[in-house]
Structure 1
């Protein structure tokens, strides 16, 4: 029994000893594995190829953020176009019974069309709560949104894992890719969108 407890104690000591030997400093080791031990550059060319891959992956990350924002804008514009409804046309006697509207009230009550003001079309407005308008759930919108977000998160986590290797080349490659991607498509992305 003493022998088994002694083995257990020595194994816990050796595992804690190896944990304390792990370096938490940046390194420039050209043979640092990326994502698995199978992806360990053996040469300087392999290391450079891995860094170029990380640059492209970071650019893709920024492209996905911009693409998602463009899709959100498109979906919002489609939702706004669905707000128009046709209303029943008032007869002359109905109009005589209603109090007359001023020019500004008439412009708010009608919609401008190619043929002028159309009083038979109304814009449906829902009361906005603190400036946020939530669109109803739609399969044609929410499924692609979830897919793009999932791919975007996956790419972000892959970039995070590359940075967590604490390899200077990998870290600078991710930053360079994010810079190039933002420079190329940053104007399409929302300012408040998260990045990894």
Structure 2
């Protein structure tokens, strides 16, 4: 009885493995690197038919990887600008300071004085810049462009990932070369002290 039960389990496993083998053979995803020049990129419509079109596809991947790094650099630059604009827009009233316009009105001798000083138009406010870390409030004019930039970065990054997932050596090396060239060109603009990579 135990022998029959064991043989049934074994045959069931064999049938399951055979089913798994047939389903995995229907999948066309390569598990090892190849160096063929007719590997499709993104769809079957983009299949290089010659060495020249394969080289063009590799050049496209290099440019796409450079664009990816440029988008990261652009995002880092914009983040710094948005933060600087937010920090520079903090105004406070200075206690005891008379505005220039009020001083001119109260002093008849100062009627010909200019309202523009070396620091600009002098009023009873002062710009205070805060240098510590701060979370900016939600603003449509900042958060919409930020989300659009992130959308572009995500799209380009996933396209590069799909190129690498073809397991084609040329495509893989092209993505690496583009990432290297992009980092070499604009890496200094990217801020590494936060989640931007």
Fold conserved (TM > 0.5)?
A: yes
Match in the other structure for 1:14: 22
Deviation, 1:90, is 6.8
SS at match of 1:78: helix
Question: Does the alignment pair 1:139 with 2:140?
Answer: yes
Match in the other structure for 2:102: none
Q: Distance in 1 between matches of 2:173 and 2:147?
A: 30
SS at match of 1:85: strand
Question: Does the alignment pair 1:70 with 2:71?
Answer: no
Q: Which of 48, 51, 59 matches 1:44?
A: 51
Deviations 1:78-126 (A, max 9, x none): 00111122245379xxxxxxxxxxxxxxxxxxxxx956xx995456688
Match in the other structure for 1:101: none
Match in the other structure for 2:68: 61
Deviation, 1:23, is 3.9
Q: Distance in 1 between matches of 2:84 and 2:46?
A: 45
| Cα distance change on mapping 1:34 and 1:22 into 2, 3 Å | closer
Residue pairs, 1:26-175, within 5 angstroms: 26-89=33-96, 114=118, 120-121=124-125, 132-175=133-176
Q: Normalized against structure 1, the TM-score is what?
A: 0.71
Deviations 1:132-178 (A, max 9, x none): 41010011100000000000110000000100100000000000001
The number of residues matched between the two structures is 161
Deviations 1:18-47 (A, max 9, x none): 45x854111101000000000000000010
Unpaired runs of 5+ residues, structure 1, are 1-8, 92-112
* Bigger Rg, which one: 2
8 A Cα contact 2:30 2:167, kept in partner:
no
| Cα distance change on mapping 1:76 and 1:37 into 2, 3 Å | same
SS at match of 2:92: strand
Question: Does the alignment pair 1:186 with 2:187?
Answer: yes
| Cα distance change on mapping 1:123 and 1:49 into 2, 3 Å | same
Q: Relative to structure 2, which stretch is displaced further, 77-86 or 31-40?
A: 77-86
